[in-house]
Structure 1
Amino acid sequence: MQDTEVITIQRIEASSSCMQKLSFGLGHVYNDLCAAVWFSYTLFYFHIVLQLESATAGILIMLGQVSDAVVTPIIGWAVDKTGNLKLWHVAGTTAVGVGFSLIFSVNSNDDSWWSLLWYGALIILFQIGWATVQISHLSIIPSISRDHTHSADLTTIRYAASVCCGITVYLITWIVLKTNHEPDKVGPNDFYKFREIALILTSIGVLCSALFYCGLHTVNHNYEDLSKNNPLNERSNLLKTSIIYQVSLLYMASRLFTTLNLIYTPLFLEERQTADVANSDIRQAIAIVPLVTFLSSFFTSIILKCRSQQVTDKLIYIIGSILSLTACAWIAIGMHYDLTYQIYGIATLTGIGSSSTMISSLCITADVAKTHKLGGSVYSIVTFTDKLISGGIVLITQHLSPKSIDLSPNFYAHVLAYVCGGTAITGLITVAILYCQR
């Protein structure tokens, strides 16, 4: 009788654990849906659909990244101070819903101060909400994980959900933008289609967030060890360690590589229209090529879920960085040739490299967060570097972008080849330093 009760309890615990993991995976879905649109299409949307100046579009993207970076450390401290992760998650989701929906629902494209203030305010609201959801959700990992394996499982599930969100975005974009009676070139007349995409994604995101709140029990930080000390002193001690800066560089490199590819792939495809994609459908290409990237990322995340314990996070990061560099080299070598079909091979390598480096860097970060018992602070410090630098690079790139494609026909190809390649090299050097310090 006792054995039967033990087995029943074990089954209940296993079922509860699976439900917890599934619910956790849904908690960042709305953020990931918005991020896929934000990084893949927002610059394209501002510049091509709303017809804003290239520099203006770059400033708006930079404003979002800077506001995100500035509030991230504050949110991290507040999360560690209060500990109510689900409450912060609700507040962030609300801000994301309002900001993201209105950015794509109101057309103000006259480049006036009013237009800049309107979009600027919405972007700041959206980015503050996004950062709040991100920090609170990441902080759940060290709060509920029992060991490194459990932490790695949660991280992989989170990334797999993110990849599924990207796939969903590109499928919806392809369906909505694909028409037979309009010209291939996307322009101002497609504003209402981007609004439709945003509203569909918001509906999906809000539903997933509701399921997350229902399925995951109340999650709070355990502050027993911190109650005796000043949290500011604990954070100060964390900043004195070298590992936090190494992990920040590691995450920044992986995230920046992914972000820049998301942002500039549609513009790269638009650029290639004058070369080897002249006879193809750009409406399909700007959805299908990123979709290939996300599909390869998804399958990579499944494979990494089944890896043996001998395959360390650092080794995975090294392999992912090498594959990322290979994709960049492929673009650098082939930019003067026909890339109509090769682009799908490049997209596949990009997806595998991005998935490998992102999952491994998050696993390494989770270990640091669990060790120092400052999840919010660790994740805010790690993501601060990524958001600030990515915004700066986008601003500089848009400032340097040519007024006419004839002036620099391979400008965005150079961005994907050399700027993204530089971030992959940065990550490779950083993980090599971590290996040497074992």
Structure 2
Amino acid sequence: MHTSSSIQKLPLSQRLAFSIGHFLNDLTQSMWLSYLIIYLSQVKEFNDISAGLLLLIGQVSDALFNLFIGLGSDKTNGLCKMGKRKTWHLFGTLCVIGSFPFIFNNCTACENSDFMVQFFYYATFIVIFHFGWASVQINHLSLIPLLTADKRERVQLNGMRYAFHVISNLMTFGVFWLLFNLHDENTSSSSLNPKDSDKFRNLVLILVAIGSVFCFIFHIIVKEKDTCNQDNVEENRVPEEHSNTTTEGIPILMTWKCWLKEIQFYQIGVVYMCARIFVNVTQIYLPLFITETLHMEKDNVAVIPLVVYISGFFMSLLMKPINTKIGKKAIYFVGIIFGVAGCTWIHFLESSTSTQAYGVAILVGIGGSTMLVTAFAMNADLIGGNTESSGFVYGSISFTEKLSSGVVVVVIQHMHPCKTCAGYYRTILTFVPASATVVASLCLLTLLSTKLCNRSLQASKDVNKHVDDIAVKMDENNAQVQITKF
């Protein structure tokens, strides 16, 4: 029997290098969620529905790619010396680098073409970008249970990963603020307009360049276990006390069919989906709320989101000690309280009290980061030692999150009553994120009496049958080999 002391700790260099492996994705996601709608509607002057449809195309393609990449990365070996997860990660990184800059640039060959030509131009690069983004995300997350079997260290890796996610957002908003204050020739208007397109172009090029350097460092330092060499299977096996078990304490392996019969797979999926909806909706519509409802200066589309992520960053640093004290489920409830408080405050904000938006940003940042980091940690606990199917789990959970977020945004855009209805975004930011926290609370209540790493009896029966079938085939093959030798 292995003891917890026999689990080898990851070196600090490995932990830090892993944490920056998603940095390019984080930088591009920050710009995608925070500025796509406002860029398309105010700079490119697309109508609300068209801007929403382009975001939906991205979210739906991301959802589908998450699902199929999750399955594909579990079944492929990749480049043996690199590892299958890092192989997919590298390919996805190249797709992101080659597509994302075009989304926030003028159409190079169709600037004066019909609207539909421009629409399909942007849609093409959006699809390519989300294929690469999904490939990086799924395989970076799937590395966590491969790198360590210690649950506390997994929580730490998720916390460090989210800390760099927050840093990426701080960098995005900080650079954007500098672009407004150091190089703003368009001072005649307090709102964004087509003359501000060069700021978005410069921002995207800076972010992609920085993110590419971090990904290069990640691939040099992080070492993935060699899954091509079958002799290493036993030594890489997760110790029994860290593996997933049935309610009867039986260690099991999980196929994708078994996951579909596991109730916690759906429960944690909903919890993660709601956390993402909260974060995504606030990130997308805070800039619009700032400019169109509160009528603040346009540089606040960088400053207010910056405050959100500074507060989120400091909260992420506290996640490990708090988790040790009260546990993940209680932490998630704490995040809900902060998030609902922020949404309630938004309801009472007016132009005359716009400076209070900084207080709102702090509450929203603490609530969103707490829920998201905890949801990631719950996913890692759900997978436990079942790294053989971690790609499918992360892909499926990301599928529901991307699809639901895209549908929510399109419905919000479609229901926009008019260009002059400034109070619309106040209503959205009050009720949509708060509704997501209510759903998350109800689902979390169903998890209170259960342990996250336990498998249901039905799942264990399916796994046992699968293992028995494999054993029979191996016995038949061995018998055939003996007959041949004889």
With structure 2 as the length reference, what TM-score do the two structures score?
0.81
Residues 146 and 109 of structure 1: CA distance in aligned 2, closer, same or farther (over 3 Å): farther
Letter paired with 1:73 = L
Residues 192 and 23 of structure 1: CA distance in aligned 2, closer, same or farther (over 3 Å): same
Partners of 1:216 and 1:59 lie apart in 2 by 38
Residues 98 and 148 of structure 1: CA distance in aligned 2, closer, same or farther (over 3 Å): same
Partner of 1:255: 276
Shift of 1:304: 1.4
Describe how 1:12-411 pairs up with structure 2 within 5 A. 17-83=11-77, 84-107=84-107, 108=111, 112-178=115-181, 179=183, 181=185, 182-183=187-188, 184-219=190-225, 224=233, 234-274=255-295, 277=296, 281-283=297-299, 285-307=300-322, 309-332=324-347, 334-336=348-350, 338-373=352-387, 374-405=389-420, 408-411=421-424
Partners of 1:414 and 1:221 lie apart in 2 by 51
Partner of 2:464: none
Residues 221 and 250 of structure 1: CA distance in aligned 2, closer, same or farther (over 3 Å): farther
Partners of 1:120 and 1:427 lie apart in 2 by 32
- Counting matched residue pairs gives 413
RMSD of aligned alpha carbons: 2.2
Partners of 1:263 and 1:79 lie apart in 2 by 30
Residues 196 and 337 of structure 1: CA distance in aligned 2, closer, same or farther (over 3 Å): closer
Partners of 1:410 and 1:258 lie apart in 2 by 21
Shift of 1:353: 0.5
With structure 1 as the length reference, what TM-score do the two structures score?
0.90
Shift of 1:219: 4.2
- Of 166-175 and 145-154, more deviation after overlay is shown by 145-154
Partners of 1:109 and 1:370 lie apart in 2 by 54
Residues 307 and 90 of structure 1: CA distance in aligned 2, closer, same or farther (over 3 Å): same
Letter paired with 1:85 = R
Q: Is the 8 A contact 1:292 1:347 kept in 2?
A: yes
TM-superposition CA deviations, 1:82-136 (whole Å, max 9, x none): 2401110011001111110111233347662211111110000001110000001
Percent identity (aligned): 32
Residues 220 and 261 of structure 1: CA distance in aligned 2, closer, same or farther (over 3 Å): farther
Shift of 1:255: 1.0
Q: Is the 8 A contact 1:267 1:412 kept in 2?
A: yes
Partners of 1:292 and 1:432 lie apart in 2 by 31
Letter paired with 1:297 = G
Partners of 1:412 and 1:206 lie apart in 2 by 35
Residues 244 and 134 of structure 1: CA distance in aligned 2, closer, same or farther (over 3 Å): same
Letter paired with 1:315 = A
Letter paired with 1:214 = I
Partners of 1:433 and 1:371 lie apart in 2 by 23
Residues 188 and 25 of structure 1: CA distance in aligned 2, closer, same or farther (over 3 Å): same
Letter paired with 2:338 = L
Shift of 1:259: 0.7
Q: Specify the SS of the correspondent of 1:77.
A: helix
- Of 317-326 and 233-242, more deviation after overlay is shown by 233-242
Q: Is the 8 A contact 1:30 1:202 kept in 2?
A: yes
- Of 70-79 and 428-437, more deviation after overlay is shown by 428-437
Shift of 1:272: 2.3
Shift of 1:331: 1.3
Q: Is the 8 A contact 2:293 2:351 kept in 1?
A: no
Partner of 1:4: none
TM-superposition CA deviations, 1:111-166 (whole Å, max 9, x none): 62211111110000001110000001000001111310111111001000000000
Shift of 1:220: 5.2
Q: Is the 8 A contact 1:52 1:111 kept in 2?
A: no
Q: Is the 8 A contact 1:75 1:132 kept in 2?
A: yes
> Of 423, 426, 448, which aligns to 1:435?
448
Partners of 2:174 and 2:165 lie apart in 1 by 14
Letter paired with 1:361 = A
Residues 219 and 174 of structure 1: CA distance in aligned 2, closer, same or farther (over 3 Å): farther
Partners of 1:186 and 1:112 lie apart in 2 by 20
Letter paired with 2:436 = T
Letter paired with 2:210 = I
Q: Is the 8 A contact 2:323 2:331 kept in 1?
A: no
Partners of 1:393 and 1:425 lie apart in 2 by 16
TM-superposition CA deviations, 1:257-278 (whole Å, max 9, x none): 101111001111111245xx3x
Q: Is the 8 A contact 2:294 2:354 kept in 1?
A: no
Q: Is the 8 A contact 2:92 2:135 kept in 1?
A: yes
Unaligned runs of 5+ residues in structure 1 are: 1-9
TM-superposition CA deviations, 1:174-198 (whole Å, max 9, x none): 0112256523222101111111100
Residues 109 and 347 of structure 1: CA distance in aligned 2, closer, same or farther (over 3 Å): farther
Residues 65 and 112 of structure 1: CA distance in aligned 2, closer, same or farther (over 3 Å): same
Partners of 1:343 and 1:318 lie apart in 2 by 23
Letter paired with 1:77 = L
